[in-house]
Every structure is written in structure tokens, then in C-alpha cells.
Amino acid sequence: MSSSSPSPSPAASRVDLDGNPVAPLTICMIGAGGFIGSHLCEKLMAETSHVVLAVDVYCDKIRHLVDPAPPHLAGRISFHRLNIKNDSRLEGLIKMADLTINLAAICTPADYNTRPLDTIYSNFIDALPVVKYCSENNKRLIHFSTCEVYGKTIGSFLPKDHPLRKEPEFYVLKEDESPCIFGPIVKQRWSYACAKQLIERLVFAEGAENGLEFTIVRPFNWIGPRMDFIPGVDGPSEGVPRVLACFSNNLLRREPLKLVDGGESQRTFVYIKDAIEAVLLMIENPARANGHIFNVGNPNNEVTVRELAEMMTEVYANVSGEPPLDEPMIDVSSNQFYGEGYDDSDKRIPDMTIINRQLGWNPKTPLKDLLETTLTYQHKTYKEAVKRQMSQASASS
């Protein structure tokens, strides 16, 4: 007569890339209630034994995990409602943790012009205590930066028809080599990128001078369900979210998609679930991740903003069953859309050499597939709420 013991759960048997067992960590996640944080919390709860101290002002996007925590997650995740600007509890939470992940930021391009002070304070001043507490208490830090720290490409300063514009060394962005090129001070759009670059330099300096164990993440347009907000539904009516949510809002309202300055800027997009895989590798492989800056993007998903609008219009028609508008897109100037002081980067293509070498990570999801997943979620989640909001607005006008 034989007895069999239950097989270990995937969380119990996790190993790092070098075959070593991964010990359960306590993670202080600042900004856990946002788009990236909500997906990372879900991943950690589903696939690991790590404990999360979820820090944010709002918990709407992780309410299903924390309010209250389901019985099987008891003791695994707790929500701590605090603003890192002025709360003495922050250092205590960082001390309790093995690792701090800082996701907190103002990262909406429309705010860079209209709220430059808030943008600089949020992305630099408010992040200072997090870096300080991690350094003073010998705690590891994964700091989220942005691909915007690269600014403009070298190629953008060449004539438009110059053959060197097509050479990768003039536009592919490398973590340890590419310069950070911003516009003039009067272009306040660069307030975000400049603040993010300065906090990166501080983190790097803490590592060099005081031994801080750090990893810096530069996301290249992570998109998927729960990204940003839909104005007037779960965000301010006058709010302007980032491009994917902006276009989703237009599609839900059957309005033409607004192409800023013709939609000529080129971008790459990566699926949030692919990107979260990369973050989990950073969490569980400190020996490979510490001291590195990682681009996390998908160079295969490169399109102009105009091409993105065309793809989204086609995909949404299939998802919703509604035919596209006769004129699905209109051109607007950046001054009309964002106000004075806006400027843009021409092209953002991440070099993937370092993350591939250190962590073996490559993105998987093609752009059309991630747009189908995201727009299906947007349609199911928001269509009826948008209808109600529009009818209320018309009734009161």
C-alpha cells in the first residue's frame, strides 16, 4: 500500500535562471494600485509565494485582491493607503520589505505641459525619500523610469531625407550608450523626462557611492487592460490619457481619432503581460539584474501613431460589431491638443541586447493580438458606462 504526498505548487518550487531556489520575498510595491502595479500584483499572487505590501492612494484596480483579500491570499497581500509625499509610515514599510518597487509617477503627456511643477515633484522630489530609505536600510530597489529619458534620437537632427536616418545607430536606443537629448526649457513637455533622468542618476549614484542594490526599468509603451482611464467614466471629463486610452475613448464614443501633428511619430508597443514576465525575472534574479538599466519593449511592434489609429479602428469594428465612421480620423496640431510648450520624440526603438543577455527575456505578443485583447476589455468594461455618461451630458445641455 503506497501513499502519495501532494505535488508542490509552482510557487513552492520556483528557481531562478541559474537553478537556485527562490526564497519568498516581502515586496513593498509603491504605486501598486495603478495599471502596471495591478498586473504585477496579480502575477505575484498567482505564481509565487512572495508577500506584497501594496502602497497607493487608490486601490480600485486591485480591489479584487485586497478589499478584502480572498481567503487563499490571506497574509499574502495587504493594502496601505498613503501618499509617499508626506507619510511617516513609508520608511517602516520599506524596512519591513526585502525589496521595494517604485511605480509611482505622473506619466500622462497632457500633464507635462499643464502641470509641469506637479510632474517634476511627483517624478523627482517625491521619489527621493524612497531612494534614501532603501539606501540607508540596505534594501534592494527596482525603480521604474521611462523610455522618455532618451528624448530625441540622434537621427532626428538630420535632414528628413538623409540616408543615415535609416541606420540603426542613429535611432535604436541603448541603455548604456545612447545620449539623452531633450528640447529647450520652454518646451515643458520635457519636464517629465528630465525629472525621470535625474532620479535615475541619483539611483545610479547611490549604487556607486553607497552600495545601493538597484535595477532601473525603462518601459516602452506597455499596453493592455486597465491602462489609464476613460474620461468622464473613471477619470476626469477634461482628462487626456495616453494614446491607446485616448483612441479607445474616441472609439467608444464614435468620435474621430485625433492625430496630433499628423500622427507621424513612431512608437513601439508591448503587451503588459509580456512586460510583467520581465519584471518577475528582475525580482527573482537579483544577481543578474542588480546594477542594470533595462529597456522593456517590443521592437517588432513598431508603428506610426497614424498606423496605430488605423489598426485600432479596424480591430474595434470587429470587437464591437459597429462599422467605422466615414471619417475615422482627424488631424489636430500639438498646440490645439496639448497646449503651448509641447514637443515630441520622433522614434523610440529599444535595443534588447542587455535584457536578453542578462534575463533571457523576449516579448511574444504581436501588436494586432494585444490590441484585440485590450479593445475587447475596453468595450466590455466601458461601453455601457460611456453611453450613460453621454446621455446624461446631452440631457443636461
pLDDT digits (tens, 9 = 90+) for 289-299: 999 999 999 99
- Residue 14 identity (one-letter amino acid): R
- Cα distance between residue 179 and residue 149, in whole Å: 9
Please give the pLDDT value at position 12. 57
| Tens-digit pLDDT profile for residues 219-247 | 999 999 998 877 778 776 666 778 888 99
Higher-scoring residue by pLDDT: 19, 109 = 19
More confident residue, 168 or 395: 168
Residue 98's pLDDT is 98
Residue of higher predicted confidence among 397 and 195 = 195
| Angstrom distance (rounded) from CA 204 to CA 218 | 14
Which residues, 6 or more positions from 195, have their beta carbon under 8 angstroms from its beta carbon?
119, 120, 122, 123, 124
**Tens of pLDDT along 311-327?**
999 999 999 999 999 99
Contact 363, 162 (CB under 8 A): no
Looking at residue 239, its pLDDT comes to 66
Q: Is 192 a catalytic residue?
A: yes
Using pLDDT thresholds of 50, 70 and 90, give the confidence band for residue 8. very low
pLDDT value at residue 3: 43
The rounded distance, in Å, linking the Cα atoms of 55 and 102 is: 10
Query: Residues 192, 316, 342, 382: which is the catalytic one?
Result: 192
Count CA within 13 A, CB hemisphere, residue 234: 18
How far is residue 313 from each of residues 121, 323, 387, measured CA to CA in Å? 37, 9, 19
pLDDT computed for residue 1 by the predictor? 41
Statement: residue 7 has pLDDT above 50? no
Examine the pLDDT at 394 and tell me if it is beyond 80: no
How high is the mean pLDDT of the chain? Answer: 91
CA distances to 240, 244, 266, 390 from 225, rounded to whole Å, are 17, 11, 22, 22
Residue pair 166/90 in contact (Cβ under 8 Å)? The answer is no
**pLDDT for 265:** 87
Evaluate whether 92 touches 102 at the Cβ level (below 8 Å): no
Task: Please state the rounded mean pLDDT for residues 177-199.
Answer: 94
Confidence of residue 9 (pLDDT cuts 50, 70, 90): low
Neighbours of 4 (CB within 10 A): 5
Going along the chain from its start, the domains and CATH numbers come out as: 105-389 (3.40.50.720)
Distance from C-alpha of 255 to C-alpha of 259, rounded to nearest angstrom = 12
Query: Would you say residue 144 has pLDDT above 50?
Result: yes
Is residue 348's pLDDT more than 80?
A: yes
Which pLDDT band holds residue 5 (cuts at 50, 70, 90)?
Answer: very low
282, 361 Cβ separation under 8 angstroms: no
The answer to whether the CB of 339 falls within 8 A of the CB of 116 is no
118 vs 43, 108, 218, 220, CA distance in Å? 31, 12, 21, 23
Band of residue 272 on the pLDDT scale cut at 50, 70, 90: very high
Cα gap 370→363, rounded to integer Å: 12
Please give, one letter per residue, the 3-state secondary structure of the chain. CCCCCCCCCCCCCCECCCCCECCCCEEEEECCCCHHHHHHHHHHHHHCCCEEEEEECCCHHHHHHHCCCCHHHCCCEEEEECCCCCCCHHHHHHHHCCEEEECCCCCCHHHHHHCHHHHHHHHHHCCHHHHHHHHHCCCEEEEECCHHHHECCHHHHCCCCCHHHHCHHHCEECCCCCCCECCCCCCHHHHHHHHHHHHHHHHHHHHHHHCCCEEEEEECCEECCCCCCCECCCECCCCCCCHHHHHHHHHHCCCCEEEEHHHCCEEECEEHHHHHHHHHHHHHCHHHHCCEEEEECCCCCEEEHHHHHHHHHHHHHHHHCCCCCCCCEEEECHHHHHCCCCCCCCECEECCHHHHHHHCCCCCCCHHHHHHHHHHHHHHHHHHHHHHHHHHHHHHC
pLDDT value at 90 more than 60: yes
Q: 305-320 and 367-396 are packed helices; what angle lies between their axes, rounded to 10 degrees?
A: 70
Instruction: Band the pLDDT of 11: cuts 50, 70, 90.
Output: low
The pLDDT value recorded for residue 391 is 79
Provide, rounded to the nearest whole percent, the portion of the chain with pLDDT above 90.
72
Query: Could you read off the pLDDT of 29-81 as tens digits, one per residue?
Result: 999 999 999 999 999 999 999 999 999 999 999 999 999 889 999 999 999 99
Longest dimension (CA), the chain: 81
- Region 165-179 average pLDDT: 91
